[in-house]
């Protein structure tokens, strides 16, 4: 299975119902670190990883827009994950 298949909506890295936001972020971060370890030549920019986090978050279009706004439209994965945890860590 390719890394893109794992990261597609509904794929293995999608947030599961009832899964805490912080756990989902940890799982995706560990996946990225493992992928880099297995293939040091694999390059996925921080902005693409940020968009993948947002797409896999299970949030509505409006909530995604709010998250982008709170990061001043910074697509970096760290900015997106921080905003997701801050705004939606209690939601399941």
Q: Where are the domains of the chain?
A: 3-88
pLDDT of residue 19: 63
pLDDT of residue 71: 92
Angle ∠(75,40,10) on CA atoms, nearest 5 = 50
Alpha carbon distance 39, 11 (integer Å): 21
Instruction: Report the largest interatomic distance among the alpha carbons of the chain, rounded to a whole angstrom.
Output: 36
Alpha carbon distance 25, 12 (integer Å): 13
Q: Which residue has the higher pLDDT, 22 or 74?
A: 74
pLDDT band, residue 69 (cuts 50/70/90): very high
Summary mean pLDDT of the chain: 78
Angle ∠(87,88,92) on CA atoms, nearest 5 = 170
């Amino acid at each position: 299975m390719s890394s893109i298949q794992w990261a597609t909506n509904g794929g293995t890295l999608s947030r599961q119902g009832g899964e805490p936001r912080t756990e989902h972020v940890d799982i995706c971060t560990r996946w990225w670190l493992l992928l880099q370890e297995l293939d040091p030549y694999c390059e996925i920019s921080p902005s693409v990883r940020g968009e993948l986090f947002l797409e896999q978050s299970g949030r509505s279009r409006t909530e995604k827009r709010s998250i982008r706004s709170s990061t001043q439209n910074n697509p970096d994965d760290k900015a997106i994950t921080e905003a997701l945890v801050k705004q939606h860590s209690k939601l399941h």
